[in-house]
């Protein structure tokens, strides 16, 4: 038996073809009973059958293997459940011959409260606490519900039967085939599914209402929510019906199941999960309340629904061969969700907002502790950690870069043929490249290997040298260190106008081109500006020499560049400043050019950068902090005055989102007028929750502002927010409050807020929202994390949520001493599931510490920030 232990994959001698599963959850004792009959194809003679199982107790005498159509039944002589490897090894006294047979197992398990496998979630119905049973199997937790070949390539069909209390709604991937009620219990059987992977099997049992619609070709679409919340599913329902139509055309393949259910689950670890035909969501990602949801919530629902429905083709119909290719699922679904959202809501300018995805990818991938898009996975416990910004955001960004290079039509045709070729099967990254190569004639595999098989990305430096433009690439690292990597970079360039766009592949370390070839004249001084990586379509950064940079500053100020390019100039400058390749003085001078900015995405990123610079300045040059704040308040003032506190009739979705972000930033920067106004409006809101004085888009800003003035001795604002939290049943409102409670400046009150996050009043999935403490709260949060570490490990175990605690609390520090202290603590408290996140967080602390030292050496910074603080426009 030992030969099967410690292996990354199951042995290949038995191939599952069909599962017949019966489950009986007990919602009172929090256990379930089950049985499974698996039709197997034995492809090599064996006396062992090895499959996955975890946290299940198998009834030994129930296990049998029946050969083919005969009545020959083999009983195992030995059964071992190896918990470390999550495998069930069955040893038979005689050899099982090649051919078909059926493996039968009876088992029991626990309806756990860890939001994975077959788990329980709580909700209220008529004031009474109830339990529902839910599954979450991706990546490797189907094995916690029934013994199975729990690998994406082991596709089979599934016939599911449930025994449940007769008053409850019971859903699975397929429509109900038969329902038989017997007193308090009913037996629900579902139609057999098409061929699919185990991680996409789903079951939900509880009390729900729904809203319903149909696509033009008769697919029944429903959105389920807790009783009384179904109407909040109407927006998602509309998006889903339209998105299914759109993908049917885009992929040139219809949706492959007769129905699609989407359901909001109160306790849910991720944002959503694309189970075939039964997609599960956090409430915040599916439900939309016209009166109390913000514009940002509406956008979140649309993009998440579009993402999950993209998986019905890309992931469910065509599935990655192994977790190494997870990025194919997630990067692609992220990219295509923007395509769908843009088609449904063109006024949201969602492709410009896609830059937020790219920036998050660039931010993580600028660390030496990043990882390639394709990662070797050697154990199930390693999979959780790659559900990160590399798989999703870098993945989506390199797909966008490739689509931009090959052209939209060619890209779409290739995808349609790829889906047709691999439908009901599995594919690797190379298979997608081959499809794109066949259609485009371009060497896609060679082009893309440098982006998926090595980690990191380049910074392309450009400078003018006499009549030449010189280009040079090197790996960008936020630490400022020298990296080894080299890429095939699709460089695009515009100069003075967007009418003419030049492009070439930078395949070597450096290259030079005649200025005349690019900008039509040999005299660089004649021309206005030169911008590389047009519209930020490429996943790389750009560093300009001073001559070009000065012209770009002018182009930003005069709004001569597209919003995406204005975003890129600032984002690259900020990253280069953090890596100590540009001074903070030059960064804040560039930021000053954005005073007249009106575009949502550009301003949203300007706000993010403003708050990060304010934080690092507080560590490096506290004596200049007031000047920084004054400058930043002045920078955002113009836009804040234009938007005000209340929505204007007929204003855009983007203005509604921007108003909340800008007022929140002004509150965090301590702007007196904003704080006073917020306080008055919050008082009105406490008296009347439907007051027009505080609509959903500005509530977060008011909550943050109220917490700025709250302390242990002046706690009325804090108590009032807790009251609102306790009285609302809208998850989005609860999330807004949790995200504000820790933003007080009093360490004692911050500690109280952090303790509240771990109380029974906060669902464990939501505690992470309360970790965004300000500078005054860093040490308190770190002491709190150490104090509660055992409890956190017990609650969050090996799931990905535990990693959020580590990165949120550790990353904001900016001293080498603190990095050592953190390292020493985790030397005796680490678990494998946080190893990568811990290394990344410590790297960020060291990057911050080096940045602080470098800022302190800038002689011209004092004069520059003073001048910007007092500059009048």
Exposure letters 793-824 (e unless 16+ CB within 10 A, then b): bebbebbbbbbbbbbbbbbbbbeeebbeebee
Q: How far is CA 690 from CA 652, 685, 693, in A?
A: 22, 7, 9
- Residue that has been written with the tokens 């485009």 in this structure: 440
Sheet hosting strand 117-125, strand order edge to edge: 117-125, 128-136, 203-206, 169-172
What whole-number distance in Å separates Cα of residue 606 and Cα of residue 586? 15
Token pair listed for 810 = 């550790």
Give whole-number Cα distances, 238 to 142, 283, 306, 307, 593, in Å: 31, 17, 11, 15, 41
Catalytic residue flag (residue 369): no
CA distance 704 to 679: 10
The neighbour count for residue 461, using CB atoms within 10 Å, is 19
The whole-angstrom separation of Cα 223 and Cα 204 is 13
d(CA 149, CA 138): 13
C-beta atoms surrounding 182 within 10 Å: 9
Q: Are 53 and 88 in contact (CB under 8 A)?
A: yes
**Widest distance between CA atoms in the chain:** 91
Selecting among 86, 138, 283, 308, the annotated active-site residue is 308
Three-class SS of residue 330? helix
The three-state secondary structure class of 76 is: coil
Could you tell me if 375 and 396 are in contact, meaning their C-beta atoms sit under 8 angstroms apart? no
Q: What is the SS3 assignment for 472?
A: strand
Could you give the CA distance from residue 770 to residue 766 in angstroms, rounded to a whole number?
8
Contact 663/701 with Cβ under 8 angstroms?
yes
If DSSP states are collapsed to H, E and C, what string results for 660-721? HHHHHHHHHCCCHHHHHHHHHHHHHHHHCCCCCCCCHHHHHHHHHHHHHCCCCCCCHHHHHH
Dihedral angle over CA of 786, 787, 790, 791, nearest 10: -120
Structure tokens at 763: 């669902």
| DSSP class of 562 | -
CA distance 47 to 168: 43
- How crowded is the C-beta side of 445, counted as CA atoms within 13 Å? 9
For residue 743, what are the contacts with CB-CB under 8 A and spacing of at least 6? 668, 704, 707, 708, 772, 773, 774
Burial class (CB in 10 A: 0-12, 13-18, 19+), 778: buried
Neighbours of 183 (CB within 10 A): 6
Contact criterion met (CB below 8 Å) for 519 and 527: yes
CA pair distance 22, 38, nearest whole angstrom? 12
User: How far is Cα 661 from Cα 306, in angstroms, rounded to an integer?
Assistant: 24
**Which residues of 466-549 form beta strands (DSSP E)?**
468-475, 489-495, 501-506, 510-514, 530-532, 541-544
Q: 3-class SS at 172?
A: strand
As annotated, the active-site residues are: 308
């Amino acid at each position: 038996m030992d030969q099967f232990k410690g292996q990354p994959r199951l042995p290949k001698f038995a191939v599952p073809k069909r599962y017949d599963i019966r489950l009986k959850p007990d919602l009172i004792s929090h256990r379930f009973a089950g049985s499974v009959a698996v039709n197997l194809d034995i492809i090599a003679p064996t006396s062992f059958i090895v499959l996955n199982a975890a946290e299940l107790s198998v009834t030994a005498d129930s296990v049998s293997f029946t050969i083919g159509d005969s009545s020959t039944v083999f009983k195992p002589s030995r059964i071992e459940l190896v918990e470390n490897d999550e495998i069930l090894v069955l040893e038979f006294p005689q050899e099982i011959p090649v051919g078909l047979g059926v493996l039968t197992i009876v088992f029991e398990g626990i309806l756990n409260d860890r939001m994975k496998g077959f788990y329980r979630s709580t909700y209220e119905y008529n004031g009474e606490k109830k339990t529902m049973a839910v599954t979450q199997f991706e990546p490797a937790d189907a094995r916690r519900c029934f013994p199975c070949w729990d690998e994406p390539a082991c596709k089979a069909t599934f016939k599911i039967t449930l025994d449940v209390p007769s008053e409850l709604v019971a859903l699975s991937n397929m429509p109900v085939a038969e329902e038989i009620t017997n007193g308090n219990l009913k037996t629900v059987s579902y139609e057999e599914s098409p061929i699919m992977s185990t991680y996409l099997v789903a079951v939900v049992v509880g009390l729900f209402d729904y809203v319903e619609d149909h696509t033009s070709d008769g697919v029944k679409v429903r959105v389920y929510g807790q009783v009384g919340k179904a109407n909040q599913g109407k927006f998602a329902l509309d998006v889903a019906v339209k998105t299914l139509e759109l993908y049917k055309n885009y992929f040139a393949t219809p949706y492959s199941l007769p129905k699609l259910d989407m359901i909001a689950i109160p306790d849910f670890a991720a944002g959503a999960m694309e189970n075939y035909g039964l997609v599960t969501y956090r409430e915040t990602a599916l439900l939309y309340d016209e009166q109390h949801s913000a514009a940002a919530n509406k956008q979140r629902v649309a993009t998440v629904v579009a993402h999950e429905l993209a998986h019905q083709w890309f992931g469910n119909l065509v599935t990655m061969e192994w977790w190494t290719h997870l990025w194919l699922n997630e990067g692609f679904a992220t990219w295509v969700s923007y395509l769908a959202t843009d088609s449904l809501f063109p006024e949201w300018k969602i492709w410009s907002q896609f830059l937020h995805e790219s920036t998050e990818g660039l931010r993580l991938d600028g660390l030496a502790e990043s990882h390639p898009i394709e990662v070797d996975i050697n154990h199930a416990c390693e999979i959780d950690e790659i559900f990160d910004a590399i798989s999703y955001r870098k993945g989506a960004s390199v797909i966008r870069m490739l689509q931009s290079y090959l052209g939209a039509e060619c890209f779409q045709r290739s995808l349609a043929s790829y889906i047709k070729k691999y439908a009901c099967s599995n594919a690797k990254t190379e298979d997608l490249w081959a499809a794109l190569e066949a259609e485009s004639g371009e060497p896609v595999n060679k082009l893309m290997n440098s982006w998926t098989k090595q980690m990191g990305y380049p910074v392309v430096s450009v400078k003018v040298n006499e009549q030449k433009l010189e280009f040079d690439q090197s790996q960008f690292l936020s630490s400022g260190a020298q990296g080894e990597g080299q890429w095939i970079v699709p460089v695009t360039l515009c100069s003075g106008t967007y009418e003419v766009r030049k492009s070439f592949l930078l395949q070597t370390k450096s290259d030079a081109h005649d200025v005349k070839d690019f900008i039509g004249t040999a005299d660089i001084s004649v021309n206005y500006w030169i911008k590389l990586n047009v519209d930020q379509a490429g996943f790389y950064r750009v560093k300009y020499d001073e001559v070009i940079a000065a012209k770009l500053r002018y182009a930003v100020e005069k709004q001569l560049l597209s919003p995406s390019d204005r975003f890129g100039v600032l984002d690259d400058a900020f990253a280069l400043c953090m890596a100590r390749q540009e001074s903070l003085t030059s960064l804040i001078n560039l930021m000053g050019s954005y005073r007249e900015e009106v575009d949502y995405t550009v301003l949203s990123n300007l706000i993010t950068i403003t708050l990060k610079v304010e934080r690092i300045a507080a560590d490096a040059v506290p004596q200049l902090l007031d000047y920084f704040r004054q400058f930043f308040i002045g920078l955002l003032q113009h836009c804040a005055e234009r938007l005000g506190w209340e929505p204007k009739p007929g204003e855009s979705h983007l203005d509604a989102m921007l108003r909340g972000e800008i007022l929140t930033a002004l509150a965090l920067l301590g702007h007196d007028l904003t704080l006073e106004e917020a306080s008055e409006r919050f008082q009105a809101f406490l008296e009347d929750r439907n007051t027009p004085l505080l609509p959903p888009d500005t509530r977060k800003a008011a909550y943050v502002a109220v917490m700025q003035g709250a302390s242990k001795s002046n706690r009325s604002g804090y108590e009032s927010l807790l009251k609102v939290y306790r009285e609302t049943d809208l998850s989005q409102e609860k999330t807004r409050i949790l995200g504000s409670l820790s933003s007080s400046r009093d360490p004692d009150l911050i500690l109280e807020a952090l303790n509240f996050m771990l109380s029974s009043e906060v669902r464990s999935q939501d505690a992470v929202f309360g970790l965004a403490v300000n500078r005054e709260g860093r040490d308190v949060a770190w002491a709190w994390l150490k104090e509660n570490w055992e409890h956190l490990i017990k609650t969050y175990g090996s799931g990905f949520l535990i990693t959020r605690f580590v990165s949120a609390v550790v990353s904001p520090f900016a001293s080498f001493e603190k990095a050592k202290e953190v390292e020493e603590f985790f030397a005796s408290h680490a678990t494998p599931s946080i190893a990568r996140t811990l290394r990344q967080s410590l790297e960020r602390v060291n990057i911050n510490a080096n940045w602080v030292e470098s800022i302190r050496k800038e002689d011209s910074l004092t004069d520059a920030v003073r001048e910007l603080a007092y500059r009048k426009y």
